Amino acid sequence: MKTLIHICCAPCLIGPLEVLRREGVTPAGFFFNPNIHPLLEFRRRVKALRVFLEGDPLPVTFDEGYGLERFIHEVYDPDPARRCDACHLLRLRATAALAKADGFDAFTTTLLGSPHRDHERVRALGEQAAEEAGVSFLYRDLRPWHDPGREEARRRQLYLQSYCGCCFSEYERFRDTNREVYRGTPPKRPGGGTP
């Protein structure tokens, strides 16, 4: 079965790609992630996927347009659950449309491998996008291959991100830390002392 895989990042592709190939699926990939911010993070993830593909060739279509404006326009909602649904649906609809246009039998997503996602919501949104586009959604519970995929990414020295990708998830990840706030000695306050 010829299947288009929505790829969120290289580490999340490794396990699912192996599983699907073992099942006899003929895979191709689609990197479409207007949610990933800031720009340098977006570029790191594109590069990590390209480095992975050097050692494990797979035809991949890259949408390398930095999607901040589109993401904010189409996804913003004060409710985090609705915001995540809108983000997932944005990416799944684009993948379904490309799968249909390019004659794939089905599409799927590496989001099904994340233990941090509401798995049943991702499945429902994938099925919704499939119905709208008129192409099949290939559902698999890929969560068991998440950790082995990340270990393989470490072994290959691929970039491993520490948050989902959007500005909201970056804030949630780092809001309670001082990481990267100071390098060296903190600046002095006017009148003495440190902040």
What CATH number did the domain enclosing 137 receive?
Answer: 3.40.50.620
Q: Judge whether 191 lies within some domain.
A: no
Show the domain range for 73: 2-174
**pLDDT tier at 63, thresholds 50, 70, 90:** very high
Q: What pLDDT was estimated at residue 148?
A: 93
Q: Judge whether 189 lies within some domain.
A: no
Cα gap 13→15, rounded to integer Å: 6
Provide the angle, in degrees to the nearest 10, between the axes of the packed helices 80-101 and 119-133: 40
What digits encode the pLDDT tens for the residues 120-142?
A: 999 999 999 999 999 999 999 99
Pure H helices in 1-75: 10-22, 39-55, 68-75
The sheet carrying 60-62 orders its strands as 60-62, 26-31, 2-6, 106-109, 136-137
pTM of the predicted model, to two decimals? 0.86
